Structures are given as C-alpha cells and as structure tokens.
C-alpha cells in the first residue's frame, strides 16, 4: 500500500459528515421500521420451518431406532433358527455314525481284511455376534449432551472470569462505542469516571442506575454485558456445533450398525439354508443307507466267494452309499 493511497482519519470523518448531512433520517427510519417488520416476519417463517424440520428429525430418529431394534430382533430370530437346525444336524450325524458302524460290521464280517469308513465329523459351531442396541446409542447420545452442557457451563465460567478478572482486556469496547446509563458517551468521560462508567457498562450498564451496581453479589454480573453475551454466545454456539457433530457421528454409527446387523442376518439366513440342505441330504442318504443295509444284512458273516453278481453289486452299492454319507460328514459351513 503506497503512501499516496493512505487516507487520513480527518478525510474519513469529513466524508462521513458530508454523507450523513445528505441522508433523510426520518425516511431512513421509516424504511428501517418497515424492513424490520418484513425481516421479523421472515424470521418467524424460518423459525416455523426449523421447528417442522426438528419434528421430522425426531420422527426419522425414531424410525432409525426402530430399524435398529427390528434388525437385531430379526438377527436373533435368524440365529435361533439356524442354531436349531445346527443342533438337528448334529443329532442326525450322530445317528449316521451308528448306521456307518453297522455297515462297517457287516462289511468286515465278509471281507478278508478289516475296513473302516471315515465317520468323524466336525460339529458346526458359529458364534453369535453382539450388536449395540438403541439403549447403547441413547446412552452415548446422553453422554454427548452432558459433554455439551459441560462445555456450555465451562464457557460461562471462563467468560465470567475473563470479564471479571481482566476487565481491561475487554473494556476497550465500552470505552470506544458505549454510552453510560446516564446517556453520556463513555468516551466523553475521563479518568476514574470513565473507568467506573465502563465497568458499569460491562457489568450490566443501566443496572447501576437501578441500584444493583457492578458488584451485585453474583458472579454472572461480571459478564452481564455485550462482551459476556458474545463470549457466552460463542460458547453456546461451539457447544451446539460439537453436540450436533457428535449426534451426526452417532447417527452414522447407528446407520452402519444397522447395515452390519442386516448383512449378518443375511449371512445367517444363507448359512441356515446350507445347513438345511446338508441336513435334508444327510437324512435322505442315512435313511436310504438303512434300507440298503437291511437288504444286505442276510450276507452277514458269509463267504464272499460264494456271492452272486447281484449280491456283490448290492454290497458295492452299499459301500459307495456309505462313502457318500461319510463325505457328507465332512461338509461344513464356511
């Protein structure tokens, strides 16, 4: 910025005086009043919109909570159904072990050397996942609200101490722009009178005229003025923004939790379908094998060499069917 471009305070004041003298203050006041009325009306409209939005937010939060609750219920139901089928499969496989043992006895009573079928199975065990329910989120939201209240409280205390303990840091506003409650501009006073008037303005201005004075036995008095309101307002705004941000974060987590529960429920349903399939196949093969075993039982302990081709094929089919059952034992759910 060059020297020539600098404008002296005198030239600014002259310009301001010239501009001010050309203003029709009455007309401006009227316009200001009309504008105030119009803007005030708009503020009321926006307030109504804000309240309607808040109501909708509350409904949406309730819906999200309901979604979380119902998704957990569905997960638990799906898990219970799958678990029941897992237990049924376990019982069925235990029965199948007996059937295979009978076939082994029959085969070994005929064959020259003992044979064994793999009749060990791995039980299907799946862990139940635990998810946060709405109460947990409610608790965390309450904690966020308490933090916001904590911040708002600390702000007012800190603001009070700023205004009370170090008034000189803030007094420039009063001495620059303010007027004392008598109507005298503070900047027009000097010395101790200026300091007292400024303190009175900072500490509540016209309250001194009402008899309370700066020292009214209340800590809040120290910041009951524009500086205090600004500090408190900034503190409250910070608390609101922090709280909103935490609420949004919690809602995001809630949304993710619901997604996780639903994805898990879908996986559980898939597993349930697979267990059902293995169960049905195991039941069908075991039942069929019992029938084949019964057909072959008359050959128990007999000499294989004297068997007809028909009998040998029956035994061959029995062995293959038993192999099938033992392969089904190895089936687990990934």
Partner 1 sequence: MDILQLLPIDELLSSPAGQRIAQAMDTIAAVQHNLVALASSEDSTQLSLLKVGTVFQVFLMDLLASGKNPKEIKPEEWGDIAGKVSKYAILEDGQSYSEFVFSLYADYIDLSAKSISKVISKESLASIKCISAEIRGKSALLRKGKITETTYVEECLWLSLEGMIKLLSSSLTTLIGSDYSKLAQAVSQLGFEYGRCVLYAKEQAILSAYIENQYALDEQLQSRFETFQMEVLKRSERFQRLIEDAFSPNVQDSLLRSIALARAAGATEEELLTTLDDIDRFFME
Which residues ranging from 38 to 97 are in contact with partner 1 (CB under 8 A)?
A: 38-40, 42-43, 46-47, 49-50, 53-54, 56-57, 60-61, 63-64, 67
What residues between 275 and 294 interact with partner 1 by CB under 8 A? 277, 280-281, 284-285, 288-289, 291-292
Nearest distance in Å: CB 326, partner 1: 8
Nearest distance in Å: CB 130, partner 1: 20
Judged by CB under 8 A, the stretch of 84-92, 121-129, 187-195, 274-282 that binds partner 1 is 274-282
Please tell me what DSSP assigns to residue 330: T
Residue 217 sits in the site that holds partner 1 (CB under 8 A)? yes
Judged by CB under 8 A, the stretch of 32-40, 81-89, 121-129, 187-195 that binds partner 1 is 32-40
Separation of alpha carbons 86 and 92, rounded Å: 10
Residue 134 sits in the site that holds partner 1 (CB under 8 A)? no
Separation of alpha carbons 268 and 309, rounded Å: 48
Residue 240 sits in the site that holds partner 1 (CB under 8 A)? yes
In sequence order, the 6+-apart residues with CB closer than 8 A to the CB of 207 are 200, 213, 216, 221, 224
Residue 14 sits in the site that holds partner 1 (CB under 8 A)? no
Separation of alpha carbons 210 and 224, rounded Å: 14
Contact 68, 133 (CB under 8 A): yes
Nearest distance in Å: CB 86, partner 1: 16
With respect to partner 1, which residue has the nearer C-beta, 80 or 161?
A: 161
Contact 204, 181 (CB under 8 A): no
What residues between 149 and 208 interact with partner 1 by CB under 8 A? 149-162, 164, 166, 169-170, 172-173, 176-179, 181, 203-207
DSSP string across 153-215: HHHHHHHHHHHHH-HHHHHHHHHHH-B-TTS-BGGG--HHHHHHHHHHHHTTGGGGTTT--S-
Judged by CB under 8 A, the stretch of 86-94, 123-131, 188-196, 314-322 that binds partner 1 is 314-322
Separation of alpha carbons 36 and 33, rounded Å: 5
Query: How many other CB atoms are found less than 10 A from the CB of residue 241?
Result: 11
Nearest distance in Å: CB 320, partner 1: 4
Nearest distance in Å: CB 325, partner 1: 8
Binding partner 1 (rule: CB under 8 A), the pick from 110, 126, 189, 333 is: 110
Binding partner 1 (rule: CB under 8 A), the pick from 80, 111, 116, 182 is: 111
Residue 227 sits in the site that holds partner 1 (CB under 8 A)? yes
Separation of alpha carbons 163 and 230, rounded Å: 11
With respect to partner 1, which residue has the nearer C-beta, 52 or 123?
A: 52
Q: Is the dihedral of CA 293, 295, 300, 305 positive or negative?
A: negative
Residue ranges of alpha helices (H) inside the chain are: 9-21, 25-110, 134-165, 167-177, 191-202, 226-296, 309-329
Judged by CB under 8 A, the stretch of 85-93, 111-119, 120-128, 188-196 that binds partner 1 is 111-119
Nearest distance in Å: CB 90, partner 1: 19
What residues between 315 and 334 interact with partner 1 by CB under 8 A? 315-317, 319-321, 323-324, 327-328, 330
CA dihedral 135, 139, 142, 146 (to 10 degrees): 170
Number of residues that bind partner 1 (CB under 8 A): 151
Residue 260 sits in the site that holds partner 1 (CB under 8 A)? no
């Amino acid at each position: 910025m060059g020297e020539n471009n600098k404008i002296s305070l005198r030239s600014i004041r002259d310009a301001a005086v010239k501009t001010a003298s050309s203003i029709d203050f009455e007309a401006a006041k009227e316009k200001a009043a009309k504008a105030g009325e119009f803007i005030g009306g708009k503020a009321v409209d926006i307030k109504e919109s804000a309240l309607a939005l808040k109501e909708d937010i509350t409904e949406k939060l309730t819906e999200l909570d309901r979604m979380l609750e119902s998704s957990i219920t569905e997960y638990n139901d799906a898990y219970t159904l799958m678990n029941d089928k897992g237990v049924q499969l376990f019982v069925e496989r235990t029965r199948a072990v007996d059937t295979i043992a009978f076939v082994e006895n029959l085969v070994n009573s005929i064959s020259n050397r003992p044979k064994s079928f793999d009749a060990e199975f791995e039980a299907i065990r799946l862990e139940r996942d635990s998810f946060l329910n709405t109460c947990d989120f409610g608790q965390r939201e309450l904690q966020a609200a308490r933090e916001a209240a904590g911040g708002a409280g600390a702000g007012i205390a800190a603001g009070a101490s700023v205004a009370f303990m170090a008034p000189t840091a803030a007094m420039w506003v009063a001495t620059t722009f303010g007027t004392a409650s008598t109507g005298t501009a503070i900047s027009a006073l000097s010395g101790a009178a200026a300091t007292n008037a400024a303190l009175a303005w900072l500490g509540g201005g016209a309250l001194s005229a009402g008899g309370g004075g700066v020292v009214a036995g209340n800590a809040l008095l120290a910041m009951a003025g524009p500086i205090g309101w600004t500090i408190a307002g900034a503190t409250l705004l910070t608390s609101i923004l922090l709280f909103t941000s935490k609420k949004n974060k919690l809602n995001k987590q809630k949304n993710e939790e619901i997604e996780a529960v639903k994805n898990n429920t879908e996986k559980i349903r898939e597993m349930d379908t697979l267990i059902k399939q293995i169960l049905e196949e195991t039941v069908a093969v075991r039942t069929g094998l019992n029938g084949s075993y019964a057909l072959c039982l008359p050959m128990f302990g007999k000499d294989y060499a004297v068997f007809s081709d028909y009998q040998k094929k029956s035994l061959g089919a029995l062995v293959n069917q038993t192999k099938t059952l033992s392969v089904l034992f190895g089936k687990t759910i990934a």
